[in-house]
Structure 1
Amino acid sequence: MVRHVRDAAAAAAKAVKTRRETLAALTGSGMVADASAAAEELSASGRAPAVVRVRRPYLRHSVPLEVETERNGLPREKRPPAGRLIAPRGVTGRLHLLLLFAAACQAAPGRQWHCNLPIEHGRDQPFSLERLVCAFARHRGGTGYVASPKANKLRQITEALKTLNDQHLLDLPHRGEYQPFRDFSLLCDSGQSTDNAPITYRVPTAKEPCIDIPTEFFSRGWVHLLTPSEIAAYLMWLDVNQNPQHEEPYVTGAERAGAYGLTREAFETHQALQAFGLVDVVPDLMRHDDGKYTDYNPEGRPPPCHRVTVTAGGLSLEAAPRITEVLNRYAATADWGRPLGARPI
């Protein structure tokens, strides 16, 4: 038994080793604190929105698509925009959410956002993508050249802008020219633009079906320190809670895979999200850890799904110390338990 616990803890420590190192680098450099401060300042200098509204088609298909296996979700090209932007490296998904945040700060509902944020920070501009974005990369060998942290971040930002252009979420009218990123603009977050029919992004109005992301998601560092899968899953749970399809807050495997396009691996991030204090999970007692269930009678009871409620005020604390504490605990015990200060009373 002791050996089993020790082996589980060693495996857990290995699983989160890279994440803990990246977290330490981003916080130790002051990058997260400065990016969060920039988000606070950007909000205060503009409309100071309480939430950032994101259109529901960004997250889910209105009618779930058929999948070969619910475990793997949809192929990337068939996922809604948020699901297509999940990637283990780079800042594409985070950058897009930050651009939607900036638009909510600077443009009224129903109006087009005219981006005035340069990529590189300068003396005459208090806000820039360089300041709003956190990015970290390791030198992986194979060459003697090591890019500076600044060059590394700018490269990741420009690569993200190209990807957003490829996904029809951003217009680069000068791509291929000497200054390819000047005058870029957002396209509609619904993802329905095409090469020949771009749809200009306008800040959503109150009448449009959306989810509301609290601005603390940006000003407390969560957008930078959650993994891409955790971000996608958290947005899904916001939608489940704000736009309920059932009497209780759950998603079936068919909905998670066919509507949101997410894999079972992304769904399993509910353990970390609960440990961070962002959601409360009530497990279905008949469902096992491997996703299987016993004696399920579809005629006699609701689906055997976890009930997941978004925690009110869960984003209000700074992300860095909370995530650090949880990851350190997980590395030592292989347990996604919440810190004492994050447990419901």
Structure 2
Amino acid sequence: MEQQWRRATGLCSQLHAANASTGRLSTFAIRSSFFFTRFDETHTPPIVRIAATRGVNLQLYLLILFEAQCRRRYGSAGPSPLPLSSHEEALSWTSLTFSKATENAGIKVPISSRANRERQVRSALKRLADEGLIQRNVGTPPRAVMALDESGKHRKETAFYHAPDPFEHVIRLPAEFVTQGWLYLLTPAEIRFYFAFRHLEKRYLRRPGAYFSPEARTSEYFLPRDVYESHLMLHRLGLIQRVKDPRRRSDGKLVDFHSYAERGEKWPIHLFKLGDDSLLHRPAYGPVRRALLNT
């Protein structure tokens, strides 16, 4: 897996550098409509529908947006020139994708890990098209992919993807979130929480830290309990800091849970802060491996 991760991140760096005639992309911007819904809206944001625990839907869409922003800083991005597949050392949607696809050698007609990964990519592209996030089979060559606006099929008309301007509601991450492989190694749940909290803290008028109220968590960002709990791993990685609270133990559990229940009081909400973005400038593999091993 490490070898495939290194290959994919190397290709991401190559993609990042390929269109650097006007300067390399420094920040990767994602519109809030992709993961956030206002209280007066009833639909779920697209990230909820595509971020399956298994599969590469979310990873691939973010790669498509990243490629579009590397290629075009302003205006409509148009169709991507990348093919669906190529040999491993060349840029394509299959070679850029990182997954746990393995070789099926024990069957009558063996299927390589690459063929399985290509099948995952084809399936993900179909799902993204069904959600109104991309168009397939456009441009030259006709198999090309074109990004659509992050709000997806909830728009009344097809909205072609434009690179975000400085005044739009976006979150901005260092480009190294992709080129250093964090996109590949964070789970869809961790990415959902991380994007939501970057947006939430920005809404707190840049005060250091923010409280993730149950209302915001469930009605605006649609984070169920299992996705919310992904903050534990993000805290371990240093991407999110959970501020110490004397009312809670080191594992986050309340010191005197029963007294809160008996009095019918609301439990104190965690205060979180964003970690230092400089962490994202380092390769993701080492920190993630150490965090998984809890070392």
Correspondence for 1:217: 177
**Quick one: higher RCO (CA 8 Å, sep 6+), 1 or 2?**
1
Residue 39 in 1 paired to residue 31 in 2?
no
CA separation of 1:226 and 1:146: change in aligned 2, threshold 3 A = farther
Quote the Cα distance in structure 2 between the aligned partners of 1:252 and 1:114: 40
How far the C-alpha of 1:228 sits from its partner, in A, is 0.9
Normalising by structure 2, what TM-score? Answer: 0.84
SS in 2 for 1:184: strand
How far the C-alpha of 1:251 sits from its partner, in A, is 1.5
CA separation of 1:214 and 1:246: change in aligned 2, threshold 3 A = closer
Whether contact under 8 Å (1:192, 1:199) holds in the other structure is no
1:179-209 deviation per Cα after TM superposition (whole angstroms, max 9, x unaligned): x971331110122556x72111111111111
Normalising by structure 1, what TM-score? Answer: 0.73
1:261-293 deviation per Cα after TM superposition (whole angstroms, max 9, x unaligned): 111111111110111121111154446856878
List gaps (5 residues or longer) in structure 1.
1-25, 67-77, 175-179, 330-338, 340-345
Identity %: 27
Match of residue 32, structure 2, among 56, 67, 71: 56
- Kindly report which structure 2 residues correspond to 1:1-345, keeping only aligned pairs within 5 A, or say none: 26-27=1-2, 30-47=3-20, 48-63=24-39, 78-122=43-87, 126-138=90-102, 146-173=110-137, 182-192=143-153, 197-244=157-204, 248-286=209-247, 289=252, 294=260, 304-312=268-276, 313-329=278-294
Quote the Cα distance in structure 2 between the aligned partners of 1:252 and 1:270: 14
Whether contact under 8 Å (1:65, 1:258) holds in the other structure is no
How far the C-alpha of 1:112 sits from its partner, in A, is 2.5
Alignment RMSD (CA, Å) = 3.0
1:141-163 deviation per Cα after TM superposition (whole angstroms, max 9, x unaligned): 99655420110110011100000
1:190-242 deviation per Cα after TM superposition (whole angstroms, max 9, x unaligned): 22556x72111111111111000211111111111111101111111211223
How far the C-alpha of 1:138 sits from its partner, in A, is 4.9
How far the C-alpha of 1:52 sits from its partner, in A, is 1.0
Q: 131-140 or 50-59: which moved more?
A: 131-140
List gaps (5 residues or longer) in structure 2.
none
Whether contact under 8 Å (1:136, 1:152) holds in the other structure is no
How far the C-alpha of 1:243 sits from its partner, in A, is 3.1
Partner amino acid, structure 1, of 2:7: D
Partner amino acid, structure 1, of 2:194: Y
How far the C-alpha of 1:304 sits from its partner, in A, is 2.4
CA separation of 1:228 and 1:140: change in aligned 2, threshold 3 A = farther
The count of corresponding residues between Structure 1 and Structure 2 is 281
